[in-house]
Amino acid sequence: QVQLVESGGGLVQAGGSLRLSCTASGSIFRLNSMGWYRQAPGKQRELVATIISGGSPNYADSVKGRFTISRDNAKNTVYLQMNSLKPEDTAVYYCNANLMVGITFVNMDYWGKGTLVTVSS
């Protein structure tokens, strides 16, 4: 009923940039927070950035000053602009959304399938 679809991953050289997009669709009454998480092989999934409607964005210390999260509420889309990429940024990036489902009016977390970002040195 609710789907999150990510795009924008790829292979870039260190110092390069990528822009990730995630669009939520389905029975959505209200989008609350949206964000990006990443997981490298053999490591735990970690927070990258989140943004709440009407609030300011939050970033992990490791990406502050390099990444920018934004959202377009009219399009139910969240973006992650990644600049000055480093090899340690290599991971699968997952879109997350906390939303109120239109049918039940219950707040739930949803995840995208992920998009791979590879940064070469």
Q: What is the dihedral of CA 21, 26, 30, 35, to 10 degrees?
A: -30
- Calpha distance 100→105 (Å, rounded): 5
Asked if 5 and 23 count as a contact pair (C-beta separation under 8 A), the reply is yes
Which of 36, 40, 54, 34 lies closest to 89 in space, CA to CA? 40
Write out the chain's pLDDT in tens, 121 residues.
Answer: 899 999 999 999 999 999 999 999 999 999 999 999 999 999 999 999 999 987 789 999 999 999 999 999 999 999 999 999 999 999 999 999 999 999 999 999 999 999 999 999 9
